[in-house]
Structure 1
């Protein structure tokens, strides 16, 4: 039987959410997941799966049964010839990256946080940046899940492909993911160029630059006129002597830079800003200047991902790519007009059309605007006004971030909304896996 912990408090990574489940269970395999769901059905409890808790939207909180996936970890199988790997869904992206490196493989694109679980990351449509490479869900070619009906269901691109399209952004409402199969590529290196540049000229050419670069993103600190741009170039076609991973010394220096200037300084300035809100813009200028230009090369996952010791909450929307710059300009006007004391940057990224039914990037090239805020209590007045701007520009919320959208708002945004609802009703007709938030999202 799975390990059980009665009582106890669950908290989200960002600290803005907590829950007191009646029972927490940690199954270590599909048989134990089946037992958990059967027991919950008998006792009248709802079940919500939980990964690393990175989402700051209330997808997980429940007063019933919390299914902790932290024991569902590790490698299931690897096919080096076809560059495919299957892992248990509770495996973190960091653990997955290390497994892939051992076999000379890598994911073509990654989000910037590696502590998320594979199952949790694809649940919410988590993405990286770059128009030419798929988001995480687009690299999923198969899943195995346990349904409340007592079945272990598998789907792939050749077997039940419509179910796979739903499972690629599953919100934890189709079943409990047990394993995930990903299409990989040969291991490769990335060259990273980070630099400051004037914001307005960048915005004027942003869409062209996104199309020209392998991976590009930029951040803007409110109160400044410059952007911090990050461009990643894939080096896998160059000879080995040009693509060696960073030396231990250069990697140590980069970690020191990250720890001191890009982590400790950010945390310290954020705490000061919480105490002295009127000083935030000046503090933002200091932080922006501290992020010096740098260039380095390393194996791909060490460049895609960054440490996240400073915790935050965020709101993020995916917009039609062509609407990204107009929406960003309106957000900047909002910040400057009302003097909002935002102590984290606005970050802009991009991604190609996603095959998942409920991915915010479904069916369109997408620009992402992420609004991060330090501390547990974000400025609600700013988030409300910012959300309206993003919605007016055709934005769809990232499922794992703060937003106020309901089923009535969301259904018109997704051409295959009803297909997802039909898959959910087939696999979980009694709503065993729903909590209050997911009921509101889906209108069920």
Structure 2
């Protein structure tokens, strides 16, 4: 096990009752003293808290991101808890407006009850707040959609002076505000574009990964929603492809009282591969519970079946568990080349595989700092789970370091809400709108109130 690492810190597993810090969700970073936290009950209190802050301000939602995104340095700094700013504010035939602190789980529940949905496919978990998910580029899968931020019709934002701004799609700064990294202000409300709810049937298959370079493109071109897990050690891939459910499948779902319908016919094609992966994960983590959360994330691939349900029932199936998660976006046209490079690296170096490679593709995004800005993109995801004692597998961390270097060399762009080594990237070269974003940030926050050490260095 590895005890410490600047990019991949150990998590705290035994905090004392005397500890007066607030931590990020993974508990691998202390964000601030609890006395630095302010919890406004409404937008007016949010305005007053920001206007009256003497030091720097960071706005937190569910704290799912790495601690560096939120960490404060000085006693006069303020950490704003937005959890009370939640709920549906208004809706009409084509949109719904939610407070920024609303969890995605609540957003999806409310829309489902309205028989509506977002065009954007959900991420694997729904613990994030709406404002946090937008600000870091949360996305799902499928070339016919992009990130959650691309479903925003308008965004209300409180600037460094406490003034409220309303940005809609006609505003020249909207592309900056869509994905602002928390550096432009505090999002108090978001109006999302909605559409009639649709049921999907997801077909699950397993096979060899010999032709993954070609098949990945074919799956995403042929299916509205597609996602796969690649197990290089076993040369196997597990793929989920979904399209709109047939009339008979929709009737079966309604007869099942609106719960996910699971076909009775199952496949054991993944069972041996999953068992091998579980052996490695248990060795890496020393977690004694055979049904621990990290293991359940891959055990679900055993005896898999096709399913029918709404988009959230089908794809929002993640199990939130502390981990180091790196996700790098590669332009879709270059994804086959990167898969070939990964195969060559795996064949020559035999890197330690803690977990399968996760592949999700999206259509172009209009957010200036989205890794998918203006081009279809394939996101390569890599995971290492924390061990029982809060440490990380040294081999697992070495894999993460090397695989990120490889993808960065191929022009990859990291997911902002996950872990990455900023020194690997030339941000202005990767993002043509980088300087325009910096200008918007300076206009909304000329004194840098919404920065911290990490974001100030990132945007310098």
TM-score range, shorter chain: 0.7 to 0.9
CA offsets per residue over residues 356-411 of structure 1, 9 Å max, x none?
A: 01111001110110111111536443223212211122111111111112597111
Match 1:115 to one of 127, 152, 172: 127
Distance 1:273 1:248 in 2: 41
2:167 is aligned, of 134, 155, 168, to 155
- 1:6-405 counterparts in 2 under 5 A? 8-21=20-33, 23-41=36-54, 45-56=55-66, 58-63=68-73, 64-79=77-92, 81=93, 83-108=94-119, 109-158=121-170, 161-235=171-245, 238=247, 242=251, 244-245=253-254, 247=256, 251=260, 270-275=281-286, 291-375=302-386, 377=392, 379-405=396-422
- Distance (whole Å) between structure 2 residues aligned to residue 25 and residue 328 of structure 1: 46
Q: Pick closer, same or farther for the CA change 1:191–1:265 going to 2, 3 Å.
A: farther
Q: Secondary structure at the match of 1:155?
A: strand
SS in 2 for 1:134: coil
Report the Cα offset of residue 171 of structure 1: 0.3
Show structure 1 runs of 5+ residues with no match. Answer: 1-5, 277-282
**CA distance change for structure 1 residues 119 and 355 in 2, over 3 Å: closer, same or farther?**
same
Flag the 1:33–1:166 CA change in 2: closer, same or farther, 3 A.
same
Cα distance in 1, alignment partners of residues 278 and 417 from structure 2: 23
RMSD value, Cα: 3.1
CA distance in 1, matches of 2:238, 2:337: 19
Change (3 A) 1:266 1:17: farther
Following the alignment from structure 1 to structure 2, what is the Cα–Cα distance between the partners of residues 289 and 153? Answer: 45
Cα offset, 1:430, TM superposition: 0.4
Aligned-partner Cα distance in 1 for 2:133–2:172 = 20
From the superposition, tell whether residues 267 and 113 of structure 1 become closer, same or farther in structure 2 (CA, over 3 Å): farther
Encode CA deviations 1:265-289: one digit per residue, 9 max, x unaligned.
Answer: 988863433349xxxxxx99xx689
TM-score norm. by structure 1 comes to 0.86
Structure 1 pair 103–289 and aligned structure 2 pair: CA distance change class (3 A): closer
Deviation per CA, 1:10-48: give whole Å up to 9, x if none.
Answer: 33333433323351111121111112112213xxx2111
Q: How far, CA to CA, are the matches of 1:128 and 1:216 in structure 2?
A: 9
1:90 to partner: Cα distance: 0.8
Preserved contact between residue 166 and residue 420 of structure 1 (Cα < 8 Å) = yes
Matched-pair contact (CA < 8 Å) for 1:324–1:369: no
What is the CA–CA distance in structure 2 between the aligned matches of 1:13 and 1:218, rounded to whole Å?
A: 27
Within 2, Cα distance between the matches of 1:92 and 1:31? 21
Whether contact under 8 Å (2:284, 2:392) holds in the other structure is no
Shift of 1:307: 3.3
Q: Which residue of 1 aligns with 2:443?
A: 426
Deviation at 1:72, TM superposition (A): 1.0
Q: State TM-score, norm by structure 2.
A: 0.83
- The number of aligned residues is 417
Pick which of 314-323 and 51-60 moved more: 51-60
Cα deviations across residues 315-348 of structure 1 (Å, max 9, x unaligned)?
A: 1111110111221232344345434333222101
CA–CA distance in structure 2, aligned partners of residues 353 and 404 of structure 1: 24
State the alpha-carbon separation in 2 of the partners of residues 252 and 310 from structure 1: 26
1:57, distance to aligned residue in structure 2 (A): 6.1
**Offset at residue 234 of structure 1 (A):** 2.4
8 Å Cα contact 1:195-1:292 kept in structure 2: no
- CA displacement at 1:240 relative to structure 2: 8.5
Summarize deviations over 1:188-238 as a string: whole Å, max 9, x none.
111111221111123332212211111111112342111111112123x85
Q: Between 6-15 and 172-181, report the one with greater CA deviation.
A: 6-15
More deviation, 131-140/306-315: 306-315
What is the alpha-carbon distance in structure 1 between the residues aligned to residue 453 and residue 276 of structure 2?
38
Deviations 1:71-108 (A, max 9, x none): 111011011x2x10000011111100111112121111
